[in-house]
């Protein structure tokens, strides 16, 4: 477990991010998403943005349409474990519990997973608003219309306004090349964070990968609580979040 706070309390290792102190910082764990959430207090998180390794990713990888996700000699990245579709209900129940009453939840997924999980999330209490589109601005792999976008399902617990009504539902940011497998652009995460939280609030990503949500949280003065089951992802996030912290301190 790692905790770092920016500012006077940066060296502290005893202050818990759950204490509500409004100094942006992060707390990350190498652990299963369900364990992280089960240990998180009810009604303690202001925003969840997450990108689980859904089952259909593995299907496309195995038939070779997502070649950039394969392990390769030129990449040190290992492909990660898949989160089974059958586990989404338990995940959503926990996310609903840890989120504060009026809050938002964004889920990255493809169309196949979107159709499966929408009703599961609604059944546990979330209101589904709409799918946002992440436009990657360049075509990827595929046989039946080559892939250029990904869904970001936009859910709500209770009622919370988005902060800027002028933002469109198609968000265009180039994909990250040669990064962690399926790494998302930090700038894309920053849009979601600015729309659905305020400085000092707490953002959670239990499948953090490279820590893109965490980096975007720190850049926008939000606290970050993250986890990933993989040791490589944990180490990468730790390094990325520390670098982000040092850059912010240098400003
Ligand atoms: C799609 S990637 C996330 C990529 C991330 N959004 C980024 O921008 O780098 C999914 C991550 O979930 C992790 N993972 C897989 N199963 C998990 C589980 N049961 N609990 C927590 N993390 C898990 C993988 O190790 C992987 O890093």
Q: Where are the chain's structural domains?
A: 37-197
Distance of alpha carbon 205 from alpha carbon 229, whole angstroms? 12
pLDDT digits (tens, 9 = 90+) for 94-141: 999 999 999 999 999 999 999 999 999 999 999 999 999 999 999 987
Tell whether the torsion through CA atoms of 233, 5, 173 and 98 is positive or negative. positive
pLDDT at 3: 60
Distance of alpha carbon 226 from alpha carbon 209, whole angstroms? 9
**Model's pTM, two decimal places?**
0.88
Task: Report the run of H or E that residue 118 belongs to, with start and end.
Answer: helix 111-124
Exposure pattern of 149-176 as b/e (b: 16+ CB <10 Å)?
A: bbbbbbbbbeebeeeeeeeeeebebebb
Distance of alpha carbon 181 from alpha carbon 69, whole angstroms? 6
Distance of alpha carbon 242 from alpha carbon 232, whole angstroms? 15
Residue found under tokens 């850059």 = 247
pLDDT digits (tens, 9 = 90+) for 177-232: 999 999 999 999 999 999 999 999 999 999 999 999 999 999 999 999 999 999 99
Cα 42 to chain centroid distance, Å, stands at: 19
Ligand 1 centre from 228 Cα, in Å?
Answer: 6
Distance of alpha carbon 73 from alpha carbon 207, whole angstroms? 25
Domain 37-197 grouped into CATH 3.90.180.10: no
Ligand 1 centre from 165 Cα, in Å?
Answer: 31
pLDDT digits (tens, 9 = 90+) for 1-19: 666 554 333 333 333 344 3
Is residue 229 a contact partner of residue 30, using CB atoms and an 8 Å limit? yes
In short, whether 228's Cβ falls inside 6 Å of ligand 1 is yes
In short, whether 51's Cβ falls inside 6 Å of ligand 1 is yes
Residues contacting residue 52 through CB under 8 Å, at least 6 positions apart = 33, 83, 91, 107, 108, 109, 207
In short, whether 180's Cβ falls inside 6 Å of ligand 1 is yes
């Amino acid at each position: 477990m790692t905790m770092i706070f920016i500012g006077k309390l940066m060296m502290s290792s005893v202050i818990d991010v759950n204490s509500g102190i409004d100094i942006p910082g992060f707390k990350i764990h190498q652990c299963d998403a369900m364990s992280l959430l089960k240990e998180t207090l009810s009604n303690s998180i202001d925003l969840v943005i997450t990108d689980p390794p859904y089952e259909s990713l593995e299907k496309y990888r195995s038939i070779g349409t997502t070649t950039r996700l394969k392990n390769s000699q030129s990449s040190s990245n290992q492909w990660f474990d898949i989160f089974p579709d059958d586990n989404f209900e338990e995940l959503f129940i926990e996310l609903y519990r840890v989120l504060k009453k009026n809050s938002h939840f964004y889920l990255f997924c493809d169309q196949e997973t979107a159709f499966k999980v929408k009703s599961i999330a609604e059944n546990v209490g979330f209101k589904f608003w709409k799918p946002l589109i992440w436009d990657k601005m360049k075509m990827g792999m595929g046989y039946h219309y080559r892939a250029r976008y990904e869904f970001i399902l936009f859910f709500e617990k209770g009622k919370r306004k988005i902060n800027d009504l002028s933002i469109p539902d198609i968000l265009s940011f180039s994909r990250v090349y040669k990064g962690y497998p399926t790494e998302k652009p930090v700038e894309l995460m920053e849009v979601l964070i600015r729309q659905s939280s305020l400085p000092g609030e707490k953002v959670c990503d239990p499948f953090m990968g490279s820590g893109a949500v965490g980096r975007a949280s720190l850049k926008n003065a939000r606290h970050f609580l993250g986890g990933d089951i993989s040791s490589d992802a944990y180490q990468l996030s730790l390094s990325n979040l520390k670098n982000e912290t040092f850059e912010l301190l240098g400003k």
